[in-house]
Every structure is written in C-alpha cells, then in structure tokens.
Structure 1
C-alpha cells in the first residue's frame, strides 16, 4: 500500500496484501506456508490492514484451506518475534508484545493487548479490549474487557486501565463489572445468571457483547481467579 516502508531482509512470499502506511522491520517473513500437516498447497492468503507495525522477526503464515486468510487489522502493532499462525485473526488496534504466539485459528478482538511471551491455544478467542499478562497460557476463551494472567490463564477482573483509555464511561465499566459478578460464582459460570441477564432489557451494549461472547464459546470460558482488579 501507499506509504508502506520495508526495512532490510524482509521476505514477502505468496498471496500477501499490505495496507497503507505500514512499517515492516528487519527479518520479517510474511506469507509462509502454514505449519499444518493437513496443508496440501491450496491457495490461501495473508491480509494486513493500514498503519500496521511489524517489528523484527515477526512471522505471519498463510491460511490452511482453500481461500482461507490470516488477517491483521489496521493500527495493530506486533513486536519483536511475535507470530500469527495459519487462519489467525487479529483485530484493529491490538498490541502483541515480544514473543507472543498465536496458534492456528485463534482470534484476538479489537484493542486487546497481549503481554510478552504469552500464547494462545488453537481455536481460542480473546474478546475486545482485554489485557493478557506476560507469559500467560491461554487455553480457553477470554471474555471481553477482562484482565487475565497465569499458567493457565485466570481472570483477575476488568481491564480497567485499558477501558478508561478507550473512552468507556464509569457507568459502562460499572455495568460490565456487575454483570461479571453475577455471571461467575466462585470460578465457574452461573448459567441461571446468564439467563436472568439476557432477560434484562435495561442492559447496555457492552454487557450484551459479553453474553454473546460466552454463548459463542466452543472451548469454554477462562475461569475466574480472584477478585483483584474489580475496583473502578
């Protein structure tokens, strides 16, 4: 794309699209074949949005399966040595710190931050505006607006700092916090609470997003670890 800059020793292989004003640093490799034993050379793609920064030694593999895509949303920053595996999807405005690894088919929602050396299991999802601590092992879906840490990951409250930076009002944050307090009993999900919340017509869009995310989970939801981080 227009205004995109490639530094030395960058390799752009097959079927890669780069948007405008991207910066691609040394030794980045884009469009490599997927690390998937089922791959048979079918046509697949890497698509990268505008204003994306890819620091040294980033690798992004093509999708596995005819016509599939590995995608990086506009405004995302992938730091040194981070990796997006086949069919992964990274939203807009995300930050992946040094050494982050996204396994095949994993999804990172808009505005989320993944700390250094954290990793996502295949098919796991991270919702919007989450904070994943460094070295965290994500094996189940991380619901929107939360802060997770640990090996394996546990939820430790709302991503309060991140939500403030993204312009969430105090009322929005409090409503999401109250919903999570109802949803989680001990470390597990209270399905009756989910039903009650779904029937509450006064809930805002952010709580509805949480409920939809939980219902859409196939790998299960990351359990609650403690009440740390709830203070607004």
Structure 2
C-alpha cells in the first residue's frame, strides 16, 4: 500500500507488498525490496538500495549526502540488507566516492537517533543503541552491540560479539568477544554471558578468556602476548579471529581497565 499522501518518484523501484505511509519521501535512484514498511515522514534518498523485510520508522533519513569535505556530488551508494529495524530519526549517509559504499547487513536494530556516516560498514545482527554516533569508514563486525550514546572515531573497527557500554567514546579498535567500558574506553572483560546464551561452549569461552588474559593482564607487550597465545592456547576460529583482528589493526586496540 502506497499512500496518496506520500511522495514516490516515478523512477524509484518498489518491490511487492511494500507499505509507504503518508508523508514519506522516496527519491529517484532508489530500490526498495519486498515486504518493507516505510513510515510517515521517513526519507529514502537517491542512491539507497534496500533489501526485503525492512521497517523504517518516522523521520529516519537513509542515503543522505555524506558530511565529508571530499564529497564532490557524485552518485554514490547506501546498501541496506534484509530484515533490519531502523527506528525514529536514524540518519545514514551514502558513500563519499563511487568506488566506496556505506553498507548495513541483515537483521540489525538501529535505535532512535543513531547516525552512521559515509563508507561505514555494519555487519549482520548488530544492535546500535539510542543516540550512538558512528563516524565515517568504521567497521562493525557481526553481532556487535553498542549501547546508548556510544561515539566511534573515524576508521575504528569493532569486533564480532563485542559489547560497548553506554556513553563510551573510542578512537581505537575494539577487539572481538569483549566488553568495553568507561571513559577513556578500556577492556572490561569478555562478553561471556551473551556468548553462552548463543551457544558458545565453556571450553571456547575459557580459551577466549585465556587469550585476553595474555593481552591485558600479564604485563607483557602486545607482540609477546600474541606469541604466547599462538604457543599456549588451542587454535580455533575464535582465537584466529582475535589474532587476525589485532594483526590488521591500524589504529591499535583499546587499553586495559586499571580500576
């Protein structure tokens, strides 16, 4: 159902069984997949490519031009996957250049007032809390959770199964499977409760804890901690994920909680 009070550009491609409520605004060069709901006063702007089963709430703005001085007015892309919930006043910018992309995966929940800047990539099943602000070119891996009011500096990475507590600000990478807290942001332990609820067995959780004990609690350098992990902890996809994340960190990882 498309309300006669909504504006839908004739060149927009709208899938089957899509509800577009009064006063929604859909520009040209937009693709909306099947079974989506676009609520009142939401704006879906040029360059947005949306999959199926998404729900976009009031006053959200998707595909806004990037807040980046390098942007020269090119036609660029925001890609949104399937089955996402995008709540009120969320803003997501499209990419700065044609070669780039801003991307949201599948099954994410973006709460009220979230901002996601240009060229950021959000994985699958992520939760981003009220008022969190994600700068450009960040990467949030699958299953990451940001509580309310989190601020990420440009280019930061967040590992899978990581939880960042409310109000944290980070200009460093935040490794997988941990809880991050405080300001300045610090390592606060592993995300054991969430992992256990989602089927991680005790042995895997224990090995993840041992790995982070080497990194954060053994008073040694990060290269030496990595060496000890490789020598002392059974290799698994989870341990490999930790090591790969550290190896590819350009900003460095967050520090230890010293309380």
Q: TM-score range by the shorter chain?
A: over 0.9
Report the secondary structure of 1:74's partner residue: coil
Give 2:15's aligned residue: none
Instruction: Name the residue aligned to 1:39.
Output: 71
Structure 2 alignment gaps of length 5 or more: 1-32
Q: 1:119 to 1:189 in 2, by over 3 A?
A: farther
Aligned equivalent of 2:128, options 93, 96, 113: 96
Q: In the alignment, which of 187, 200, 219 is matched to residue 168 of structure 1?
A: 200
Q: Note if contact 1:34-1:62 (Cα within 8 Å) is conserved in structure 2.
A: yes
For the Cα contact (< 8 Å) 1:26–1:55, is it kept in 2? Answer: yes
Corresponding position of 1:207: 239
User: Rg bigger for which structure?
Assistant: 2
Partner of 1:28: 60
User: Cα offset for 1:198?
Assistant: 3.0
d(CA) in 2 for partners of 1:188, 1:96:
33
Question: Counterpart in 2 of 1:150?
Answer: 182
State the SS of the aligned residue for 2:256. Answer: coil
Q: Distance in 2 between matches of 1:132 and 1:63?
A: 25
Q: Can you give the 5+ residue segments of structure 1 that lack an aligned partner in the other structure?
A: 228-232
Paired residue secondary structure (1:221): coil
1:156-196: per-residue Cα shift (whole Å, max 9, x none)? 00011211122111111000100111122467743112123
Structure 1 distance, partners of 2:104, 2:203, is 31
| Structure 1 residue ranges, 4+ long, deviating more than 4 angstroms after superposition | 185-189
2:97 is aligned to 65
TM-score for both structures, normalised by structure 2: 0.84
1:224 aligns with 2:252: no
Matched, 1:197 2:229: yes
After superposition, what is the alpha-carbon deviation per residue over 1:125-184, rounded to whole angstroms, capped at 9, x for unaligned? 000010000000011000000000112210100011211122111111000100111122
1:82 counterpart (93, 107, 114): 114
SS at match of 1:31: strand
Instruction: Select which of 51, 70, 86 maps to 2:83.
Output: 51
User: Do the aligned partners of residues 154 and 26 (structure 1) sit closer, same or farther apart at CA in structure 2, a change above 3 Å counting?
Assistant: same
The separation in 2 between residues aligned to 1:45 and 1:166, in whole angstroms, is 33
State the match for 1:230 in structure 2.
none
Deviation per residue, 1:37-95 (Å, 9 max, x gap): 11111231101110000000000000112231111110000000001100011110010
Alignment root-mean-square deviation, CA = 1.6
SS at match of 2:103: strand
- Distance apart, 1:114 and its partner CA: 0.3
- Matched residues, number: 227
8 A contact 1:156–1:226 mirrored in 2: no
Partners of 1:218 and 1:65 in 2: CA distance: 22
Shift of 1:205: 1.3
If asked which structure has higher relative contact order (CA below 8 Å, sep 6+), I would say: 1
1:114 matched to which residue of 2? 146
